[in-house]
Structure 1
Amino acid sequence: MTGEVDKMYKLVKIKVNIPTPFITNDYTGKFVKTVLINANPDLQEVFEGKKKVQPKPMRVTSLLDENNEAVYPKHIVNRFEMDHKPNLPPKPITIKGKFSFYLGYDMSLEPEVSKVMTSLFSGLQMKYGEFNVELKAIEYNQVEFDNFPSEFSQIKVKLITPSMFKDPFEKLADLDRVKYRRYLPFPAFIFSTNVFEIFRETYKRNIIRLSYGLLESHNNLNTVRKVWYYYDGKWLPGVVGYLKFFVRKGLRKEVMNIFREIFIHANIMGVGTGRAAGFGFAEITAK
């Protein structure tokens, strides 16, 4: 698998113009998914089909503004002693103008994505809630990872959309599994989905390598935040913010190559759970 991730998966950034405003108080990743399904109805099977494929071969992000920041109703917790689930629905936000979103996918879906882009560049009209929405793609760029370093001593992780992590020890314990989301930004939690997707046969070994090989900065306690986001009429918790990890000295080149593949995959396909709904959008850099 080493050296093949960016050949098996692809990440594109799509910029759109929405000339007629609509109002929403829901998570905008749902809107992006609706856009894609309207642009190519065959994608409904990928996102919502009866045949459950885990992990899903396509992920989206929420809408993003000109600064690449996520746009959605939210409440970020800055003082944990004051934290509580909001009692009221969020104030609706108005969506109008230019926004972007990212689409990461398995290369087997390239023909379906080509249909999406043909439709979006032609202009799309659709119903979203009570609104008639017009949308047109104005820019399309593939994101390349050829220059991602092969040697590095630290990584930085920016969690841009709410992230919720999968517990790798549910699989490793080999017990009857009840699935729980995990929120502690520990390397084995953050990247467990990525390891499972690309290193399934050596999952246990690579989860242990991540746990041993990446050492968290104490500043992570100050730079990561809990966020409440609104989804399907409910306030739910997630994690956003910045994280830094130092690479333990003396790791073999083989391990460093595996780490590189995991981080590239996380850039393309996101981290944690709910990636097909716009969660877990992360930017990972190394130096």
Structure 2
Amino acid sequence: MTTKVAFIGLGVMGFPMAGHLTKCDFDVTVFNRTQSKADKWLISYNGQAKTSPAKAAKDTDIIFICVGNDHDLRSVVCGSDGVLSTAKNGAIIVDHTTASADVARELAALSAAQEVAFLDAPVSGGEAGAINGQLTVMIGGDKQAFNKVKPAIDAYAKFSQLLGPTGSGQLAKMMNQICIAGVVQGLAEALHFGQNAGLDCESVIDVISKGAAQSWQMDNRSKTMLAGEYEFGFAVDWMRKDLGIALEEARRNGSTLSLTALVDQFYADVQRQGGNRYDTSSLLTRLNQP
């Protein structure tokens, strides 16, 4: 029998992710807060759309969610018209939102009370990864539930792994964002230094990217950074949200995140310059200010 799935949230990531599920012959029902986005999705993919999370989730086997933050997530899961109001016993919620570990544990407990499994499953790979079906998925929750949903996750992911109990996926995503923040700042400073030294930075990057300095950011963002183009990926506003979650968790568990806190403030500088929707590589803009 064809597995029936719901996909809640058709943003930059969710729109193509839900589309990949239809290409793998899942029976997909979508919901998006802005109806026009759902209408657009239906033009591109086979499926159906509903007018609430509850209606989309009714009678489905897997409920995928990809929304903005803790508040949005609570609303679509346990709000008055949330998925738990209609989810059947044995259904599995797979939450791809980057949110706090606390909200994952909270919603997992509420789901379990209704015999619904909950996996926190944030992703890495950005818009390009979602479009190309090449995301990496970090997952927390029950192993049996993970094994059941893995064939569906494989529709849009190149790699997924269960990392531990509920909340582990979100904690892993925090580590991911901590790493990215440091790497992007280092790349921005290197390019800034090279420009001021009068070097042909593209040629230098071509050399050093073959050695120990190589990174995804260097390979995919250095040329656009040098061109002053910052419309390619994950927005500064969202990165600050993610780093805020990581810094709050660090205060709770006693971790020292000095570099992360500093880069978070550098992103605040970019916001003050009007770069809220620039992608995360825009850290170079604050260094190149006259």
Structure 1 or 2: more helix by fraction: 2
TM-score (norm 1): 0.25
Q: TM-score, normalised by structure 2?
A: 0.24
Asked which structure has the greater RCO (Cα within 8 Å, sep 6+), the reply is 1
User: Which has the higher Rg, Structure 1 or Structure 2?
Assistant: 2
